[in-house]
Amino acid sequence: MTILIFLLLAALTIGCAVAMVAQRNPLYSAIALIGVFLGMAGIYVTLAAPFIAAIQVIVYAGAIMVLVVFVIMLLNVEEEVRRPIRLRRLVPLGVLLAAIFFAEAAFIIYFVETSAYNPPPATQSNVGLTASVGTGLFTKYLLPFEITSLLILMAIVGAITLARRVSTLEGGRTRLRATEETRSQTSAD
């Protein structure tokens, strides 16, 4: 039963991933990416990590992708035009690298997996539960957690600085230079 659910979710995830790359309409790609995130959330549930699954949906599918869809809708991005492949000589190299990657994966699945390593049954694991994630974040991994928060804060401040584009005048005074884009954006708001 579990393997059946896993296969369904894996098919959804991989199918959506392929569709995301193959689609030329950017909005279709975005929808396919949402499908990938939902499929992955389902796989997390089967791996007994419900908290991570919920966060995956809330953060990636619910917040980040909404922004992506928003931007695509606002800018009305055109469909990609099919162009002839440049760097034709690199195609064999790409095929070779892909073959190596699949060989590696097959090696791991058929030789490493069957060795002495026995994963604990999924029901006994507490890795993905809310309480264990919370205590882990605020005790053992506090420093990485704080550093990540700081990095995100820096990114936000940087984004705001870039968006405002303050230029310095000769007199030392600063002036807000509203570019054509920001002006149209504020009027759209």
Partner 1 sequence: MDLSNPYIQAALQFLAIFITFNVVLMIVAYTVLAERRILGFIQGRLGPNRVGPGGVLQPFADLLKFIFKEEIVPDKSTRFVYFLAPIIAVTSAMMTLIVYPFGPRVTLPYFGQVELVIARFDIALLYVLAVTSIGVYGIALAGWASNSKYSLMGGLRSSAQMISYELSLGLSLVGVILMSGTLDLYEIVEQQSGWYGFKWNIFPQFIGFVVYLTSAIAETNRVPFDLPEAETELVAGFHTEYSALKFALFFMAEYINMFTVSVLATTLFLGGWNVPGLALLFAPGSIPFAVFSVIGFFVKVFFFLFLYIWLRGTLPRFRFDQLMAFGWKFLLPVALLNVVLTATLVWLGVL
Sites of contact with partner 1 (CB under 8 A): 1, 25, 27-28, 31, 34, 38, 41, 50-51, 54-55, 57-58, 61-63, 66, 69-70, 73-74, 129-130
Smallest gap, in angstroms, from Cβ of residue 39 to partner 1? 13
- Least CB distance from residue 41 to partner 1, whole Å? 8
Residue closer to partner 1 by CB (options 130, 149) is 130
Comparing CB distances to partner 1, the nearer of 10 and 69 is: 69
- Smallest distance, Å, CB 95 to partner 1? 32
**One-letter-per-residue 3-state SS of the chain:** CHHHHHHHHHHHHHHHHHHHHHCCCHHHHHHHHHHHHHHHHHHHHHCCCHHHHHHHHHHHHHHHHHHHHHHHHHHCCCCCCCCCCCCHHHHHHHHHHHHHHHHHHHHHHHHHCCCCCCCCCCCCCCCCCHHHHHHHHHHHCHHHHHHHHHHHHHHHHHHHHHHHCEEECCCCCEEECCCHHHHHHHHHC
Cβ proximity to partner 1: between 2 and 118 the closer is 2
Closer residue to partner 1 (CB): 94 or 136? 136
Give the nearest distance from C-beta 83 to partner 1 in angstroms: 23
